Amino acid sequence: SEIEQAVSTGALPPGPDIDAFLAQACKHAARHHEGAVADYIPVLAAADPEAFGLCVADVDGGLHEHGDTRVCFSIQSISKAFVYALLCDALGHERVLEVVGVNNTGLAFNSVIAIELNDGHPMNPMVNAGALATTALMAGDSADRLWANVRDGLSRFAGRALEVDDEVYRSEAATNQRNQAIARLLESYGRITRDPLEVVDVYTRQCALSVDARDLAVMGATLADGGVNPVTGERVVSAEVCRDTLAALAANGLYERSGEWLAEIGLPGKSGVAGGLVTVAPGKTGIGAYAPRLDPAGNSVRGQIATAYLSRALGLNIF
Ligand code: DON
């Protein structure tokens, strides 16, 4: 594949110097200009297609950064991974598996037909249907309480109070009729039992939370560290929940390209349409990448190539 080719032609730097590996991974990935910045959420089209940041956060709290690691972007679908973890922690994994599922759809992240083909089951927490079902199950009897729980939980993963990018929120809220339709469809199957449009609104806010590559690395490192944020020292979720979340990411984190990703990188990861990508090396590190040009499935092209490089250079592949 394109990624395999890109990785195999990149020369590894000598010595185990992680900063040199990061620089080399970025240099190697920056040769790639394919892919396109998302524009179905209008404001995302304004992103700088050349922005590129890569950060590694170790489970001992060490941070390594290269490039635009402090440039903010909306977390988008990457939020799904962490809301899923919070829900598993609150409800227990048996119940969440039953209601949300964990099998890949083989179809696009915003597929409606996948729901119909599966008798109204949302299938997995990383596609929009499953993410809406996940957010709907979070605690909070009012929309405000629901939102506060989602935001606080994601902030604990990041180790700081995350804020919504209002421009992104408004842009998506004005154009998210498809997600509204998905939520209504799930309601019709009894899969969402609270106000579906409130759920879509909270989900849209959760996707509009502003992060940088360093935040993603720390969030990933929290999953790598068995649920303890290695920077703040706070336990966010249990170790069992991390295991369940990483399995869901391995199966579904890069949508219909999840198999290809796992074959190349060998680590659980999650992408977002703003160009973010988080990857988890269990027991070792979280990797946060930001590069807005996406492959046809909605995954950062340079983020995947740089992460593949790091996975090989640092021997992170879990298989
Ligand atoms: O619901 C949506 O369409 C967006 N808020 C998130 C989609 C997304 O990030 C897909 N990812 N690669």
pLDDT digits (tens, 9 = 90+) for 100-130: 999 999 999 999 999 999 999 999 999 999 9
User: Mean per-residue pLDDT for 175-181?
Assistant: 98
3-state secondary structure of 159: coil
* pLDDT of 7 strictly over 70: no
Q: Can you tell me which atom of ligand 1 is nearest the CA of 40?
A: 3
Whether the per-residue pLDDT at 142 is higher than 80: the answer is yes
pLDDT above 90 for 21? yes
Query: What is the pLDDT at residue 11?
Result: 40
Reported ipTM: 0.98
Catalytic residues: 77, 80, 203, 255, 273
Cβ(258) – ligand 1 distance below 6 Å: no
pLDDT in tens, 25-63: 999 999 999 999 999 999 999 999 999 999 999 999 999
Reported as a single tens digit per residue, the pLDDT across 266-284 is 999 999 999 999 999 999 9
Per-residue confidence (pLDDT) for residue 14, from 0 to 100: 43
271 CA closest ligand 1 atom index? 12
| Predicted pLDDT of residue 32 | 96
The dihedral over CA atoms of 218, 261, 292, 152, expressed in degrees to the nearest 10, equals -30
Average pLDDT for 200-205: 98
Tokens of 129: 């249907």
Q: What number is the average pLDDT over the span 213-231?
A: 98
**Whether pLDDT at 243 is above 50:** yes
Least confident of 4-18, 114-128, 191-205, 224-238: 4-18
Residue 23 has pLDDT above 50, yes or no: yes
Tell me how far apart the alpha carbons of residues 228 and 225 are, in angstroms, rounded to a whole number: 6
Q: Does the C-beta of 76 come closer than 6 Å to ligand 1? A: yes
Whether the CB of 272 sits within 6 Å of ligand 1: yes
Neighbours of 261 (CB within 10 A): 27
> In the chain, what percentage of residues exceed pLDDT 70?
95
Query: Nearest to residue 24, comparing CAs of 8, 15, 34, 11?
Result: 11
Which residue has the least CA distance to atom 1 on ligand 1? 128
Q: What is the structure's pLDDT at 2? A: 54
Give 46 Cα–ligand 1 centroid separation in angstroms: 16
Question: What domains sit in the chain, N to C, each tagged with a CATH number?
Answer: 2-75+211-313 (3.40.710.10), 78-207 (3.40.710.10)
Confidence of residue 17 (pLDDT cuts 50, 70, 90): confident
Instruction: Out of 43, 177, 206, 273, give the residue to mutate to test ligand 1, the one with the largest number of ligand atoms within 8 Å of its CB.
Output: 273
DSSP-based three-state secondary structure for 268: coil
Sorted by sequence, the CB contacts under 8 Å of residue 130 that are 6+ apart come out as 80, 100, 101, 122, 123, 124
* pLDDT, the chain, mean: 95
- At residue 282, φ and ψ (nearest 5 deg) are -55, 130
Which helix or strand (DSSP H or E) is residue 57 part of?
strand 53-58
Does ligand 1 come within 6 angstroms of the Cβ of 227?
no
**3-state DSSP helix/strand/coil percent for the chain, to nearest 5?**
50, 10, 40
